[in-house]
């Protein structure tokens, strides 16, 4: 029986039938997530992404199997969580990322590639995948099952949303060499394609139309597809008039993210990460 078949079988069991085999199945899944051998979502080879719903089922199985316990990390620092989701532990012998002191946390079931830098305090939730050379800055969140590519800069206070349920829902995808500016929010399965730049304060959700002022297009999510930011697009916060005569009379505007250009050499220079930070 494959791991997928085992996960799906144990996930169907009622609570009273979960047993030691269920726990062993969950731990095998978590180890493979830790090593990057499994992902909650992955490229399908055609430039698109597919969700591995069974992986998310396995993570949810862990919540059913776990019991609340106290963790004591010394020096008066205690926290309380399910015993199936301890903090992710690293050592220099197993390729630890650069975790700068100051209160960052990485949950188990997370893959972090080589030369990743985590600035304090940031948080990376279960099921997330972070590619090599990426920087996660202070007060940033990488949510459950979010996929963040290689050489990405997630700036201070940016929020990369996560999703566990429904299990078939696409998590947020941030592809390679994207710059996510400070205080950005990327939520609800939005896909940010490679080399895009999100200016500080940009918010992207399923209900947010993205206006392309360069190509004269409007990008929207649909019932079967997420909002997608085109490759190399530079997006900034903007506004558009609110509909209706009353709104017009009061000068009301709605938030609207706008593509104002596509990356060029000047943008690349401005968005480049300093090698010293790595």
CATH number at residue 18: 2.160.10.10
Q: What is the tens place of the pLDDT at every residue in 41-60? A: 999 999 899 999 999 999 99
Q: What is the tens place of the pLDDT at every residue in 169-187? A: 999 999 999 999 999 999 9
In a domain, 200, yes or no: yes
In a domain, 11, yes or no: yes
Overall number of domains in the chain: 1
Cα pseudo-dihedral 15, 17, 23, 25, rounded to 10? -110
Tell me phi and psi for residue 277, to 5 degrees.
Answer: -70, -20
Per-residue pLDDT band at 87 (split at 50, 70, 90): confident
pLDDT value of residue 102 = 87
Cα dist from 159 to 15, 90, 124, 202, 204, whole Å? 34, 24, 11, 10, 10
- What's the token pair of residue 44? 């399908």
Alpha carbon distance 271, 278 (integer Å): 15
pTM: 0.93
Rg (CA), the chain: 20
- The pLDDT of residue 116 is above 60: yes
In a domain, 71, yes or no: yes
SS3 state at 277? helix
Alpha carbon distance 119, 149 (integer Å): 17
In a domain, 274, yes or no: no
Q: Work out the mean pLDDT of the chain and round it to a whole number.
A: 93
The sheet with strand 210-212 has its strands ordered as: 98-99, 117-118, 135-136, 153-154, 179-180, 197-198, 233-241, 253-262, 210-212, 217-219
The boundaries of the domain holding residue 120 are 3-263
- The pLDDT of residue 265 is above 80: no
């Amino acid at each position: 029986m494959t791991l997928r078949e085992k996960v799906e079988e144990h996930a169907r069991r009622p609570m009273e039938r979960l047993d030691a085999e269920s726990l062993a199945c969950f731990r095998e899944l978590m180890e493979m997530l830790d090593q990057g051998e499994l992902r909650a979502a992955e490229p399908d080879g055609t430039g698109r992404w597919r969700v591995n719903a069974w992986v998310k089922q396995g993570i949810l199985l862990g919540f059913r199997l776990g019991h609340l316990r106290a963790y004591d990390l010394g020096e008066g620092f205690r926290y309380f969580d399910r015993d199936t989701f301890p903090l992710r532990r690293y050592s220099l012998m197993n390729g630890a990322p650069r975790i700068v002191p100051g209160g960052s946390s990485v949950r188990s079931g997370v893959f972090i590639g080589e030369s990743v830098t985590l600035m304090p305090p940031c948080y990376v939730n279960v099921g997330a995948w972070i590619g090599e050379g990426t920087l996660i800055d202070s007060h940033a969140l990488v949510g459950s099952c979010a996929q963040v590519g290689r050489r990405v800069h997630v700036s201070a206070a940016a929020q990369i949303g996560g999703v566990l349920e429904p299990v078939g829902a696409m998590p947020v995808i941030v592809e390679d060499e994207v710059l996510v500016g400070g205080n950005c929010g990327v939520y609800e399965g939005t896909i940010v394609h490679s080399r895009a730049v999100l200016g500080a304060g940009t918010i992207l959700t399923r209900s947010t139309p993205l206006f392309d002022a360069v190509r004269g297009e409007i990008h929207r999510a649909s019932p079967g597809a997420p909002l997608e930011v085109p490759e190399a697009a530079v997006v900034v916060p903007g506004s558009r008039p609110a509909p209706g005569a009353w709104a017009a009379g009061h000068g009301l505007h709605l938030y609207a993210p706008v593509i104002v250009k596509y990356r060029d050499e000047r943008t690349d220079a401005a968005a480049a990460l300093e090698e010293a930070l790595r």
